Amino acid sequence: MLTAPDGAPGDLFGFSVAAGNQFALVGAQLHDGSSVDSGIVHVFERLAGTWTLSAQLVPREPEHGGFGHSTALSAHTAVIGAVGEGGVGTAYLMQRSHKVWVNTATLVPADGDVDNLFAWSVAIDGGVAVVGAPNDSDRAFRAGSVCVFERDGDANWSQVAELLPSDGQAGDEFGAAVAVQAGTILVGNWADNDAGFTSGSAYVFERQPNGVWREMAKLRASDAGGLYRFGIAVSLSGSSALIGALGATGREPYTGAAYVFVRGTNGQWQEMTKLYADDGANSDAFGWSVALDGATAVIGAKQDEREGFFLAGSAYVFAREQPGRYTRWPRPDGARPLHRGQDVRPAPVFGRTFPQTAGQACLCAVGGDARLRSRL
């Protein structure tokens, strides 16, 4: 269990997490540092099998920035969103060098406006960083946008593209969730109304040989319907995508689901399977957060009731046995979802958001603690 040594009520420790190699980042976006709600990110390092707090990252401009609202990690480079900084939002690039984390770049939108919610979501893969601004109005009022930043040969970061959906509409909130891997960007568009009110969608962009990012596909659930909120969370792994839809019909209406899409050899994306909790209940919000790593999918149900506690939350793990076929992760103790077990408390919300990499899933409990569990 990871906890903040200087945590206080209302810090929202665990609101965002990122994990990679031997590091885990845990954001507390309302932590009071040099100013109220300036935010902080705690860096935990795995040493001799034990996770230990090794650093605390703070924003350069702390004025009500919400630093730590979003986090992402690639090797020894972290990108951290400060969604409220300056009213516009900022994303910080932090590089670990000689055991010290240094702010090497500050990412801001080329045409940023107040209240665009720039840095609401972030993702990074090597020399490509992606930052979502779901309230941007370049296409239409609060249709949303995504900024792409790339690192050049001199290690300088600059914005190379602003991604807009080809058919974006007012209020879509394109960019509320983002993922990037190996020249592919996946963007959630959860408030899209194509198949009913907030039925949702997701867009795939790919980097062309000339360096231009091009929209390649728009993904929807095969059974899309109103209030599905498909695209509220997204994840990429290889040629597969996992997309959450917290209002989708699973075991029963509005329990939530997550959809696996696969890119074929012809470059076309196709829905392969739909995952849901076989013990799900109405409004569990299954699909609020998702992570995909190879053959393993982790899906958060942030409002799941556990041990009699309302909104305790849980996370479900699925393993792919063969193409298009996933089964619930077998547990030696017969447990069904991963949840807090004997120390479930009603205040934190477990399973809100997590990345997964290198055989580990980082599960967070907002307002309480963060838990990092190794994948068997």
pLDDT the model gives residue 344: 26
Read off the pLDDT of residues 301-326 as tens digits, 9 standing for 90 and up.
988 876 666 667 888 889 887 766 77
Evaluate whether 316 touches 331 at the Cβ level (below 8 Å): no
Read off the pLDDT of residues 8-65 as tens digits, 9 standing for 90 and up.
888 888 889 998 878 999 999 888 877 788 899 999 999 988 989 999 999 887 666 7
What percentage of the chain exceeds 70 in pLDDT? 84
**CA gap 284, 337 in Å, rounded:** 13
Residue 179 has pLDDT above 90, yes or no: yes
Residue 346 has pLDDT above 50, yes or no: no
The amino acid occupying position 125 is D
Evaluate whether 164 touches 145 at the Cβ level (below 8 Å): yes
Sheet strands side by side (includes 184-189):
177-181, 184-189, 201-207, 213-219
**Weakest-pLDDT range from 9-13, 68-72, 100-104, 303-307:** 303-307
pLDDT the model gives residue 373: 52
Residue 317's beta-bridge partner residues?
Answer: 298
pLDDT the model gives residue 235: 97
Is pLDDT larger for residue 38 or for residue 339? 38
Evaluate whether 292 touches 275 at the Cβ level (below 8 Å): no
pLDDT the model gives residue 103: 94
pLDDT the model gives residue 37: 83
Confidence bin at 271 (pLDDT 50/70/90): very high
Residue 295 in tokens: 């053959």
**CA gap 7, 14 in Å, rounded:** 11
Residue 24 in tokens: 């885990």
Residue 250 has pLDDT above 80, yes or no: yes
pLDDT the model gives residue 353: 53
Read off the pLDDT of residues 115-133 as tens digits, 9 standing for 90 and up.
899 999 999 999 999 999 9
Of the candidates 80, 71, 144, 73, which has an alpha carbon nearest to the alpha carbon of residue 106? 80
Domain ranges of the chain: 1-103
Evaluate whether 277 touches 343 at the Cβ level (below 8 Å): no
pLDDT the model gives residue 167: 94
What average pLDDT does the chain have?
85
Residue 359 has pLDDT above 50, yes or no: no
Evaluate whether 93 touches 108 at the Cβ level (below 8 Å): no
pLDDT the model gives residue 338: 45
Q: Is the dihedral of CA 229, 202, 355, 71 positive or negative?
A: negative
**CA gap 364, 4 in Å, rounded:** 12
Mean pLDDT over 252-277 rounds to 94
pLDDT the model gives residue 63: 67
